[in-house]
Amino acid sequence: MDTGRRMNTGYLWLLGTAVAWSFSGVFTKLNSQPGFLISAVSSVVALLFYFIIIRPTIRVSKLVVAAGLASYFMGITFTYANKLTSVGSAIVLQYSSMAFVALYEAIEQRKVPPARKVFVIVMALTGMVVFFFDSLSPENVLGNLLAIISGAFFGLMFFLNAKRGSSPVTSAMISCAISVLPGLLYIPQLPQVKPHEWGLMAAGGIVCSGLANVCFSRGIMRANPLTANLITMLEVVFAPTWAFVFFHENFGRFALAGTLLIIGSIIVNLVLEQREKDAAAQPSPELAM
């Protein structure tokens, strides 16, 4: 498979990741159980999905464990951010992860990010703010801070999983295993869980964790971290769509403009990225002579 086709396949896997992640809110909102219990049961189901269906090759290293910890802390800080600030603010601030990805790359490479990365990040974040403009609120400082911290871990997850020697599925399994631990405190509540709630938690484990992380692991190996982060950001467009379909929640007045900016930032990034690759592939004038 040539590099271009491999990258295109990676983009499709990342799009699948965004779709799978976007159902998390629906499964959670339809469930009356505590968030930690939902997370724990879904994680157990996800682990069973990995071991029985995927049967991955387990590779453990400092890099893999670090990515798993980043994934766990991203999830737990985002859960509390949603409780302490508006959903719109939490999502917008969490996707500051793109800026953190660029920061991590700049630190590793010891150089300032190129102008096109800065432009794409600003365009995407502007789209996010516009999309959720009606629900953004400057209050709830702690929740907003936690959302930014979640964004830092989210960006770190992309950055680490894109490295050679990473194992995104193993890292996801480590994150799931850690998520199970707080759920042990809720074991006495298990008899109170309704049948449909068990189904929702199982669906969350299979779709939002299992399938999502399989798609993510295949996509992140075929795209750079920033591009991967941008494509999965489509989650914020899909999630409100499902909320409209299932709960009749209306889009904000600025949602269409925000959607166009988000999608536009992805297209601009892909076009500029391809131009850079084409330019790098062309022989220099000296070699052509």
Q: Is 193 helix (H, G, I), strand (E, B) or coil?
A: coil
For residue 61, the model assigns a pLDDT of 94
For residue 5, the model assigns a pLDDT of 64
For residue 285, the model assigns a pLDDT of 52
For residue 8, the model assigns a pLDDT of 76
Question: Could you tell me how many helices (H) and strands (E) the chain has, helices first?
Answer: 15, 0
pLDDT mean values, one per 10 residues, the chain (289 residues):
67 93 82 86 94 89 96 87 72 83 88 82 83 68 86 94 91 94 91 94 93 92 86 84 76 76 83 73 56
Residue of 176, 264, 169 whose CA lies nearest to 217:
169
